Amino acid sequence: MSVDTILSFEEAMEKYDPVLGFEVHVELNTKTKMFSSAPNVFGDEPNSNVNEVCLGLPGVLPVVNKKAVESSILIGLALNCKIAEHCTFARKQYFYPDTPKNFQTSQYEDPICYDGWIDIELEDGTVFRVEIERAHMEEDAGKLTHMGGSTGRIQGADFSLVDYNRSGVPLVEIVTKPIENVGSRAPELAKAYVAAIREIVKNLGVSDAKMERGNVRCDANVSLRPYGQEKFGTRTETKNVNSLRAVENAVKFEIQRHAAVLDSGVLITQETRHWHEDTKSTTSGRPKSDADDYRYFPEPDLVPIVTTAEWVEELRATLPEPPAERRKRLQADWGYSDLEFRDVVNAGLMDEIEETVTAGATAAAARKWWMGEIARRAKLADVDPAALGVSPAVVVEIEKLIASGAINDKLARKVLDGVLEGEGTPTEVVAKRGLAVVSDDGALQTAIDEALAAQPDVADKIRGGKIQAVGAIVGGVMKVTRGQADAGRVRELILKTLGVEG
Amino acid sequence: MTASELIRSSAAEMAAKLASGEITSVELVQAHLNRIAEIDGGERGIHAFLHVNGEEALAVAADVDARRAAGEELHELAGVPIAIKDLIVTKGQPTTAASKILEGWMSPYDATVIKKIRAARMPMLGKTNLDEFAMGSSTEHSAYGLTRNPWDLDRIPGGSGGGSAAAVASFEAPLALGTDTGGSIRQPGSVTGTVGVKPTYGAVSRYGAIAMASSLDQIGPVSRTVLDSALLQEVIGGYDPQDSTSLTDASTGLADAARLGNVKGMKIGVIKELHGEGFQAGVENRFNESLELLREAGAEIVEVSCPNFGYALGAYYLIMPSEASSNLAKFDGVRFGLRTLPTEGPLTIERVMGATRAAGFGDEVKRRIILGTYALSAGYYDAYYGSAQRVRTLVQRDFEAAFAQVDVLISPTTPTTAFKLGEKLDDPLSMYLQDVATIPANLAGIPGLTLPGGLADEDGLPVGIQLLAPAREDARVYRVGAVLESLLEAKWGGPMLNQAPELASTAVAAEEAN
């Protein structure tokens, strides 16, 4: 494998104007496959979630999964696409053993969703509009594992294993229009775009959206042209870049590589590239040209899909609030600073805080608990804060106990211990552990009288006007009450007992 | 009643005898198995069957007899045996599509029509021969040997469903299933003197019929009488959620239509472009005779023109191979069926697929795959596949215009009677012309029926009469077909097959050959 020469990113950006394009494949989480009743489940025993249809046995016929069509329409609506009133499937034909029929049933001339857009917000708040060319339905291929040989590819392998569990899993392929005028923000935009698509499909509930499982897969197209030139340069397509970080790195690497190739006076070869996480670089795949002949023709075994306005509107009515809008709304509602809000988003605790606020806590209290004590304990236990076992209702109840003066912050942490140890609701834990703040003035007065008697010199100092000496008496009272007293109230009562104005 | 008389009965008659207890299903199935053993094997045997399913057929028959004895209510055709074209997948019996590439393959699932046959408790006698993947008009393209025409053993039984037609014509089975993409049920019916129907596209589920051309293929009945085909279509038809192109119409009223018995006041259109020039004189004579009988029975015979039918054959030979080239891509040696390794050079997946397909497919299949691959290629698609689809629309419009004037259309089923074995093997174009009258119905998705129209004067061989009706009006072809059948049989003094030569037993010859 030859190592490509690359330019520094800065130099590449000085000389060339990058144009990007993305094809993101989203695996839908429907119960069954795109065209068969076989289960759509990840990770099972190889070739167990198959039937004669997704194995492409002789005589079988496909039937479209209605739920997959609805999921596709939802994705289209979330991406501000138009929804085709009438669309068809087509066969994309090529021989490869992961494709049982040796053609993939896909959409070609008339995708179900087309002409959309999505606004991508970069980290510094810059908003970049990415236009969506189309989002179409198709089926996934099986998974090949090439055994033996050095490349891990089919060429040179001793044999290959194929798992058809993934064969026929519903996919939506989202294709952008060429993304221009992005300049040096290209790698950042690439990452943000894929993150946004992942967030949208997750928010819609139509995909498990786990990139590490291949639920969301990105092919990144990159080309460079001299600044001021209208015509696009020759592009390469880096396949299956399967993490956000890798998308950013792959785009950056291809820009640097293209720049070096162009600088040396050589033309870019139109081809697919493979991303290597270990070397953070791409290598040449197979040559690809627009003349690749897949002999598309309309799928004769399927009737066209007709979407009525009524159906589309029914689906539109179920759309959740778009993630970006929701974030804006929540930050405003909660009054968090940009920094506070970003921390919450990065910690993945937006949903929990929203639920906690909805359940009755103040936004400040919700943030205090989730980002503070709960996050700290989750980190110690090495789990997600949401998975620690503290429900929004618990946070709300603890907050109420504090507000009523029944417990203080220090006791609240002990209450949390009790809840996590399965001792019941916060109120139950307070009762069982006897954690309630001592607010009975009679009981407190006795403790205060004893403390004053034990330290008569301090009492005299206070009487003499050294108010700050009261701390010593408060400490004594707190000790006697094992911290379960309200310190403020104790102070008040001491001063009153000594006839001193606080 | 002797076994010989029994097997010559119609399926409806057999069903009546079973219902009355005159015969048992085991006797009936055994009589057919004996007939198959007697005439199907050997050098000069009919060779309609690729697989005989005696054990299971007898078990199903015994089960039917037991249920009937116990007073259970059974389907009208329960216990009546049937033969299955070997393009339709069956559990428990091999399915080959008459191709080496599927030799020994056992389907893990039943076609929808097979599930329905089982639900009706019809014993399956076995799987019948065909042109490989249903590609041909003579059954000479089977990888497992040719099938002979019972009327003349040196002639073709038609194709692709020559096995089903010959089995029914030679009393090896009262009923059979066929598939019809361009005439594969009707042309064999025509040349063997039997009845065959291509139902409306979508009337019968295609699930489990190995696809040649998905937009043209249709499973249909093969029988000796029009009523029998109607009864069988009622068994196999109806909506199937596993076939997206299947119609939701109920598969009923067809036998009633066949029993109606009159055509008075019906308008029957003679398609100007589908008789006369290019049609054998004896075919033309029998055709005119049928028109006269229908006229006498009170039908109004008018001539209609379908000017675009002249392009139908050309369009068909682009659409069919295009779809076939895609449908047959799955036969690659990776998951099922034959796998052949290249004899020299590196062992790569592409080369194994290539070697498998080279060894597994016959010449006619390769011819159509190459033709279809070419027609779908970038730069040629519009000129070939695209134009063909436009012609298809024009053919559909011709039918629409014709059916605006008449209730049914009529034509000879084939331009000629059965030709000699080997006669057209080197001339694919002349073979393709056999389907000139049957192809338009496939392009338009409408129902077509063929029934025996008599014997041609010049060669004494069967002539077929084709009836066509608008989509979803299958009942009309059964109604008119049954009337014409009874008029013709009255004229002949019995079924036309009574005039077929007695077949000599080949059982001894077959045994010696073994």
Domain boundaries, chain A: 9-293+302-315, 331-414, 441-498
Structure tokens at A96: 């490869």
Residue of chain B minimizing CA distance to A155: B348
pLDDT of the residue at B428: 83
Smallest CA-to-CA distance from B80 within B14, B8, B139 is with B14
Of the candidates B59, B115, B80, B88, the residue with the CA atom closest to the CA atom of residue B9 = B80
Question: CA B306, CA B134: separation in Å to the nearest integer?
Answer: 27
Residues of B with a Cβ under 8 Å from any A Cβ are: 88-89, 95, 97, 102, 105, 107-109, 111, 206-211, 213-215, 241-245, 322-323, 326, 329-332, 334-336, 348-350, 353, 373, 376-378, 381, 385
- The count of structural domains within chain B is 1
How does the average pLDDT of chain B come out, rounded? 96
Residues of B in contact with A296 (CB under 8 A): 376
Phi/psi-derived region of residue A457, left when phi > 0, alpha when psi is between -120 and 50, beta in every other case: alpha
The one catalytic residue in B17, B85, B127, B198 is B85
In a domain, residue B379? The reply is: no
CB B297 within 8 A of CB B264: yes
Distances (CA, A) of A252 to A230, A258, A354, B176, B304: 22, 10, 36, 66, 70
| CATH number, domain with residue B10 | 3.90.1300.10
Contact status, residue B50 vs residue B127, Cβ threshold 8 Å: yes
Q: Are B108 and A160 a contacting pair at CB < 8 A?
A: no
Task: Return the SS3 of A130.
Answer: strand
Query: Is pLDDT above 50 for A232?
Result: yes
**Residues in Cβ contact with A251 at an 8 Å cutoff, skipping those fewer than 6 apart:** A18, A20, A186, A187, A190, A220, A222, A238
Interface-testing mutation among A297, A299, A302, with chain B (most B C-beta atoms within 10 A)? A297
Can you say whether residue A102 is alpha, beta or left, with left for phi > 0 and alpha for psi between -120 and 50 degrees? left
Nearest-neighbour CA in chain A from B328: distance (Å)? 8
Whether the CB of A59 is below 8 Å from some CB of chain B: the reply is yes
Task: Tell me which chain B residue has its CA closest to the CA of residue A98.
Answer: B334
A109 touches chain B (CB under 8 A): no
Residue B176 domain boundaries: 3-308+394-494
Distance from the first to the final alpha carbon of chain B: 33
Q: How confident is the model at residue A155 (pLDDT cuts 50, 70, 90)?
A: confident
Q: Is residue B256 part of a domain?
A: yes
Half-sphere exposure of B469 (CA within 13 A, CB side): 21
Shortest CB distance from A101 goes to which of B330, B350, B373?
A: B330
Quickly state the pLDDT bin for A472 (edges 50, 70, 90). confident
Of B89, B322, B349, the CB nearest to A97: B349
pLDDT at A336: 94
Residue contacts between A and B (CB atoms, under 8 Å): 101
Q: What is the DSSP string of A77-134?
A: HHTT-EE-SEE--EEEE---TTSTTSEEEE--SS-SEEEEEEEEE-TTS-EEEEEEEE
Q: Indicate the average pLDDT of chain A.
A: 91
Dihedral sign, CA of B3, B9, B12, B16?
A: negative
Residue A453, pLDDT > 90, answer no
- Structural domain contains residue B80: yes
Q: What is the mean pLDDT of residues A342-357?
A: 89
Task: Say yes or no: A234 contacts chain B, CB-CB below 8 A.
Answer: no
Statement: residue A150 has pLDDT above 80: no
Q: Are B473 and B266 in contact (CB under 8 A)?
A: no
Q: Looking at domain A441-498, which CATH architecture does it have?
A: Orthogonal Bundle (1.10)
Give the pLDDT score at A471: 85
Which of A52, A97, A297 faces B334 most closely, judged by CB atoms?
A: A97
Q: Considering only CB atoms, which chain B residues are within 8 Å of A60?
A: 207-208
Helix B226-236 and helix B11-20: axis angle, to 10°?
70
A303 close contact with B: CB closer than 8 A: yes
Pick from A122-126, A368-372, A417-421 the range whose average pLDDT is largest: A368-372
Query: How far apart are the C-alpha atoms of B150 and B155, rounded to whole Å?
Result: 9
The answer to whether residue B246 is catalytic is no
Selection from B177, B201, B213, B186 nearest residue B365 by Cα: B213
Q: Which residues of A187-207 are buried (b: 16+ CB within 10 A; e: fewer)?
A: bbbbbbbbbbbbbbbbbbebb
Burial of A265 (0-12, 13-18, 19+ CB in 10 A): exposed
* Three-class SS state of A21: strand
- Within an 8 Å CB–CB cutoff, is residue A160 touching chain B? yes
The confidence score (pLDDT) of residue A444 equals 80
A1 has a pLDDT exceeding 50: no
Enumerate residues 6+ apart whose C-beta is below 8 A from A67. Answer: A28, A30, A31
Q: What is the pLDDT of residues A405-435, one digit of tens each?
A: 788 888 888 888 888 888 889 988 888 887 7
Residue A194 pLDDT grade (very low, low, confident, very high; cuts 50, 70, 90): very high
- Are A174 and A141 in contact, with CB atoms under 8 Å apart? no
DSSP B200: P
Which residues from A are below 8 Å from B213, CB to CB?
Answer: 300
Q: CA B164, CA B166: separation in Å to the nearest integer? A: 6
Residues from chain A that touch B378, judged by Cβ atoms under 8 A, are 291, 293, 295
Instruction: Give the CA dihedral A205, A206, A210, A215, nearest 10 degrees.
Output: 180
The one catalytic residue among B9, B10, B184, B411: B184
Amino acid letter for position B341 = L
Whether A60 contacts chain B with CB within 8 A: yes
Out of B108, B323, B336, whose CB is closest to A300?
B323
Identity of the residue in B102, B209, B330 whose CB atom sits nearest the CB atom of A56: B330
Cis peptide bond prior to B142, omega within 30° of 0: no
Q: Do A62 and B97 touch (CB under 8 A)?
A: no
B445, part of any domain:
yes
In a domain, B335, yes or no: no
Catalytic residue among B10, B160, B246, B290: B160
- The span from the CA of B79 to the CA of B31, in Å, is 13
pLDDT: which is higher, A340 or A481: A340
Q: Which of B211, B244, B329 sits opposite A302 (nearest CB)?
A: B244
